[in-house]
Amino acid sequence: MRDFKYIDLKECILKDNDGVAEEIRKLANDKNIFVWNLMSSPGAGKTTFIIRLLKRLSQDIKIGVIEGDVESTLDAEKIHAFNIPTVQLRTGGSCHLDAAMIKKAMDYLPLDELDVVIVENIGNLVCPAEFDIGADLQSMILSVPEGDDKAIKYPLMFSVCKALIVTKIDTLPCFDFDFEALEKNVRKLNHQIKIFPLSAKTGEGVEDFITFLMHEINSKIKR
C-alpha cells in the first residue's frame, strides 16, 4: 500500500484534453464545419499534399488551415499565399497539438465562412496520435522514403486513423518499399483503414483520395 500521493499526469492531461475536444466538436457542429486532422512524420509531405488539395478544392468548398510547428512559420506562409485563412500554432518545443491549442486557433478563423478546417499537425508519429483534437477525420501520411515498417514501430498512429495516405509513390523506383507488407501490418492494427497510394507532385492517385474526402465532408456538413 502506498504511503504517498500518486498522480498519473498522463491520465490527467488526456482527461482534460478530451473535455476540450468535445467542446471543439460541439463548436464545429454548431458552425456546420468539418475538422480534418492530418498527421505524419517530419518531411512526409503534408504541406505539399494540402496545397495540391487546395488548388483542386478551394473553388468548391471554403477551407481554413491550422498549421502546427515547433518553430518557424514557413508552412503557414505557403498556405496563406493561396488566400486561405490560416493560423500558425508555434509550440516552441511541444511535439504535438492538443485540443486546447486547436480551440485557441479556431478563435482566429472566420468559422462562419468555412466548410472545412484542416489541421496540419506537428511532424511526429508518436504524440499526436494520443491527443483527441475534436476532428471528424483522423488521417496520416506515410511517404515511400520512410519505409514500409512504420506500422510495426508506431502502431498507435496507424490504429487511430481512418485513412492512410502513402505519398511520394513517384519515388518507388529509388526505394525498396513493399506495399503488401505495409498493408498486412496496417490491417493487423486497423481492419477498416482506407489506404491511398498517391503522388502530390505528379497528381497520381490524388483524385481517389479527394473522392473519399468529399464523401466524408458531405456526410457531415449541410451545404
What's the CATH number where 31 sits?
3.40.50.300
Tally of domains in the chain: 1
Nearest to 99 by CA among 140, 134, 64, 137: 134
* Cβ atoms of residues 189 and 155 within 8 Å: yes
Residue 6 has pLDDT above 50, yes or no: no
How confident is the model over 198-203, as a mean pLDDT?
96
pLDDT score recorded for residue 53: 97
The contacts of residue 112 (CB under 8 Å, 6+ apart) are 31
Does residue 157 lie within any of the structural domains?
A: yes
**pLDDT at 48 > cutoff 60:** yes
Residue 1 within a domain: no
Residue 46 belongs to a domain: yes
Would you say residue 5 has pLDDT above 60? no
Q: What is the mean pLDDT of residues 64-78?
A: 89
Q: What secondary structure letter does DSSP report for 194?
A: E
175: buried, middle or exposed (CB in 10 Å: 19+, 13-18, 0-12)? middle
Residue 65 lies in a domain: yes
CA angle, 30 then 50 then 106, to 5°: 30
Q: For residue 223, is it within any domain?
A: no
In a domain, 72, yes or no: yes
- CA 150 to CA 182: how far, in whole Å? 8
Q: Are 120 and 38 in contact (CB under 8 A)?
A: yes
What's the CA gap between 108 and 28, in Å, rounded?
14
Short-list 137, 201, 194, CA closest to 168: 201
* pLDDT above 80 for 212: yes
pLDDT band for position 133 (cuts 50, 70, 90): very high
Q: For residue 72, what pLDDT band results from cuts at 50, 70 and 90?
A: confident
Is the pLDDT reported for residue 98 higher than 50? yes
- The per-residue pLDDT of the chain, averaged, comes to 92
pLDDT of residue 177: 96
Note whether residue 2 is domain-resident: no
- pLDDT band for 215, please (50, 70, 90 cuts): very high
pLDDT at 79: 93
Element (H, E) at 10: helix 9-31
Q: Scan for cell 495516405, then name that residue.
A: 165
What residue numbers bound the domain in which 24 lies? 9-218
